[in-house]
Structure 1
């Protein structure tokens, strides 16, 4: 395992913003990073670390704001980009439910859709 020293919260927040820009740009230069499970894992860990920093500092308001921000619904831009990406794909219609669920979670990370919205997307004829 390799570790990248992150100097402080500001650097971690900058990394978070870069990941969000790469994952959710409407016309991405690297669309393969949008649903990539490795990128999703990094985005999740960065976000969870930012939340833990606030929790350790006793900043309950910031923790709640991060958790609220992380909760996605179908009205968010990121969810709409997910649907656009699915509709442009040539593999979605032949993918099984587990593959679809995995892609949805990876695409949306570090955001979290509720199970109802995930199921809707899985069953949708995008």
Structure 2
């Protein structure tokens, strides 16, 4: 993993917002970033560091809000964005169940889809 020297929580949040801006765009300039395991791992690391920072600052309420905002449930607007990115691709239909789960993780990272969402999307 890349070692970054982050000076403060604001820089962590800036990196998080940058990742989400690239991954959540309806017309992404970098569509390969949407399902990239590398980008997903980096996004997870940043989210983990944000949580750790909040806990180190004894911001328990902020940490809980952060954990909650990462949950992707069936009502999330990200579900439609995901569907639009896989609907025209025969590549999705050719993936086995584990391959679909891996792509779901990569797409939603740093978000955490519920089991219900994962099951629903693997059936697409």
Distance in 2 (CA, whole Å) between partners of 1:117 and 1:2 is 31
Q: Could you tell me which residue of structure 2 aligns to residue 42 of structure 1?
A: 42
**Cα displacement (A) at 1:90:** 2.4
| 5+ long unaligned stretches in structure 2 | none
Distance in 2 (CA, whole Å) between partners of 1:50 and 1:72 is 18
Q: Could you tell me which residue of structure 2 aligns to residue 96 of structure 1?
A: 96
CA RMSD of aligned residues (A): 1.1
**Cα displacement (A) at 1:4:** 1.9
Deviations 1:19-66 (A, max 9, x none): 000011111000110110000000011011001100111111101100
Q: Could you tell me which residue of structure 1 aligns to residue 25 of structure 2?
A: 25
Distance in 2 (CA, whole Å) between partners of 1:31 and 1:25 is 9
2:74–2:116 contact (8 Å) kept in structure 1: no
Matched, 1:122 2:122: yes
For normalisation by structure 2, the TM-score amounts to 0.95
1:74–1:80 contact (8 Å) kept in structure 2: no
**TM-aligned CA distance change 1:49 to 1:37, over 3 Å:** same
Alignment: residue pair count: 124
For normalisation by structure 1, the TM-score amounts to 0.93
| 5+ long unaligned stretches in structure 1 | none
Distance in 2 (CA, whole Å) between partners of 1:42 and 1:99 is 20
